[in-house]
Amino acid sequence: MEQRTPFYDIHNALGAKMVPFAGFEMPVSYTSITDEHLAVRKTAGLFDVSHMGQFIVKGKEALDLVQKVTSNNAAKLNPGEAQYSCFPNANGGVIDDLIVYRLFNDQCAEGEQAFMLVVNASNIEKDWNWINAANNYDTRLIDISKQTSLLALQGPKASEVLQHLTDTDLGSIPFYHFTKGSVADCDNVLISATGYTGAGGFELYFDSSHSQKIWSAIMKQGESYGLKAAGLGARDTLRLEKGYCLYGHELGDDISPIEAGLGWIVKTKKGSDFFSKAIFQQQRTEGVKKKLIGFKMFERRIPRQGYTILNMDDKVIGEVTSGTMSPSLEEPIGMGYIEATKLSIDKIKIGIRKKSYEAQIVKLPFV
């Protein structure tokens, strides 16, 4: 049986189209994907992403464990800062991508550090088992996923909407920073200047007992701004327009973060050892066999995951990982991997059913 977030009844009341996703019943859209997508780009949208997982890593050697299992350098984080990272496996691939939060010292005993790791819903169990297997440190792991709700208020008007509901000065929270505050008279809300849309805004983590109150307050406050409830469909098209990787598409157990264009989160020079560090060092020296590209179709044909990428001589050189009709550009866009030796070309073909259609390789992001 699929799990449900605390907002399930709200989604149904709004007439959302519900679909199974990562073991949850989730809203794919309320009105239409395009309508919700454009609301986020132009005004604001509110996403229920409570299906995501949250792990607390706390103890005297919490940093050591985080450094061992993640590719980025968590030692650079001060309390109140976050960073995008990934869990490398032992073979140069990616177990998951995640956000690492360095929590405030008031949440720690003396001499301890605390982090929160936010992981993808489809990988919660896998990630949890991987981290626990690596935990040979003086550190406790706590899975708070089930009692934690997560809302993403995204878009250029997100800050204005949220500011009416909190005394926290949202303008003082830089990108990828966070603080604790009250929202809609609910205390202990983690207010994070992060998101997966490229449209700006905040993600709010809070105890699930506050779920309906906070959702209702944000939606009511946002009415005059054009705020819309947004589903997973718009979340996907928004991230694709920005060239953001999605696990299971651009990232996976057999895909290196360097191949995915995420070399900036692979800190092979950090003093701590971490899984696949030597492999990534070798890839930096010798190069990789495939690389992620973005492309636009010349015709109104939508590329889908698994479609072949061909050169202009119809030789297969790669595979599509994501594709959609871009609501912002009103043209089909996609991402995929091609042989690294073919990166100098500027045009490709996409195999769709029994035909192939030309596309232009473009620099990411699309918008």
HEC secondary structure over 180-216? EEEECCEEEEEEECCCCCCCCEEEEEEEHHHHHHHHH
**Cα 77 off chain centre by:** 19
Q: Where are the alpha helices (DSSP H) in 74-231?
A: 124-134, 158-163, 211-222
How much is the pTM? 0.97
> Distance (Å, rounded) from C-alpha 160 to C-alpha 44?
10
Q: What are phi and psi of 285, to 5 degrees?
A: -80, -45
Helix (H, G, I), strand (E, B) or coil at 2: coil
> 140 is written with which tokens?
């406790």
User: Which residues on neighbouring strands pair with residue 154, listed in sequence order?
Assistant: 45, 201
Give the pLDDT score at 97: 98
Give the pLDDT score at 76: 98
Omega before 365 within 30 of 0, i.e. cis: yes
Hey, what domains does the chain have and what are their CATH numbers? 3-49+148-241 (3.30.1360.120), 53-143 (3.30.70.1400), 289-362 (2.40.30.110)
| One-letter amino acid of 31 | T
Cα first-last separation, the chain:
38
Give the pLDDT score at 105: 83
171, HSE (Cβ side, Cα atoms, 13 Å) = 2
- DSSP track, 232-285: HHHHHHHHHHTT---BTTTB-TT--TTTTT-GGG--TTSSS--TTHHHHHHHHH
Give the pLDDT score at 122: 96
Give the pLDDT score at 110: 86
pLDDT, one tens digit for every residue, the chain (367 residues) = 889 999 999 999 999 999 999 999 999 999 999 999 999 999 999 999 999 999 999 999 999 999 999 999 999 999 999 999 999 999 999 999 999 999 998 877 888 999 999 999 999 999 999 999 999 999 999 999 999 999 999 999 999 999 999 999 999 999 999 999 999 999 999 999 999 999 999 999 999 999 999 999 999 999 999 999 999 999 999 999 999 999 999 999 999 999 999 999 999 999 999 999 999 999 999 999 999 999 999 999 999 999 999 999 999 999 999 999 999 999 999 999 999 999 999 999 999 999 999 999 999 999 9
> Distance (Å, rounded) from C-alpha 110 to C-alpha 124?
29
